[in-house]
Amino acid sequence: MEEEAIIRQEAKDFHRKTIEGSRKVEAIDDFHELKHRLYDFYSPESKAIFLDEIEKQIVSALKAHRDKAHGGLPGINCMHERKPEKLLFYIKQELDTLPIIAHQKNEANPTQVRDKVFVSYSHLDKEFLTDIQRHFKPFLNKIDFWDDSKILPGQKWKDEIKKAIDATKVAILLVSTDFLGSDFIATDELPPLLKAAEENGAVILMVVVKPCLFEEFPSLNQYQAMNPPSNPVIKMDYSDKEELFVNLVRQTKRVLDGEAK
């Protein structure tokens, strides 16, 4: 088994034996056991994968209960739902301190081949694109990485961007006030990228590069940000930036390899 598969199986076993079979009254007591189990995993990425799978198992069990007992809706004052909801709250807090694990929101459309990484950014944020290009460079023999610097003189740039978007599997958005205020991004890039995420299995990964009112854009903030909006890249020290970009490449590879289900 591959490393991620091993960690996820360990999480499923832990959920079945310790969480589903728990006789503890309070969710915090189950969470303390979960926190103790995390010590068995050394890297932050492994801890994040373990918690990600635990969260999936709890959400799935909660959904099954609601489907059976409440017609698929949350049960008002349902005692069976209070504990898992509290546990999900604690898990989310812990996940917020760990590297993001990317997910594919919807199933891919098998009739449409998507294998490209597309970077959408404001030209006023080009310094951050340069950093990301540097981190993807060792993998360009395996990853079809595209940004608008690939447009050659004489090519119709709007046509080239459209072709790249139509083949995009992972869209990396470098979010800033200038990004949010760009008319071209808002009208020509974001709509087809978000549609691809909703209908064709593309994955949106956002990097908040400068302080901005990201939370005011619900069409965007439903997707995964690699870093909290309160901690944009421009505020990070060198080590934190490098770790962020390494995880960006790691999660992109997971999506392209079909592991981000």
Q: What is the pLDDT of residues 204-240, one digit of tens each?
A: 999 999 999 988 988 888 887 899 889 999 999 999 9
Q: What is the pLDDT of residue 35?
A: 96
Q: What is the arithmetic mean of pLDDT over 53-72?
A: 93
Q: What is the pLDDT of residue 130?
A: 95
Domain with CATH 3.40.50.10140 in the chain: 116-256
Q: What is the pLDDT of residue 132?
A: 95
Distance CA 94, CA 97 (A): 6
> To which H or E segment does residue 9 belong?
helix 3-14
Identify which of 84, 11, 92 has the alpha carbon closest to the alpha carbon of residue 50. Answer: 11
Residues 235-244: pLDDT tens digits? 999 999 999 9
Residues with Cβ < 8 Å from 33, sequence gap 6 or more?
Answer: 18
Q: What is the pLDDT of residue 140?
A: 92
Q: Name which CATH class applies to 116-256.
A: alpha beta
List the beta strands (DSSP E) in 108-258. Answer: 116-120, 144-146, 168-175, 203-208, 224-225
Higher pLDDT, 208 or 110: 208
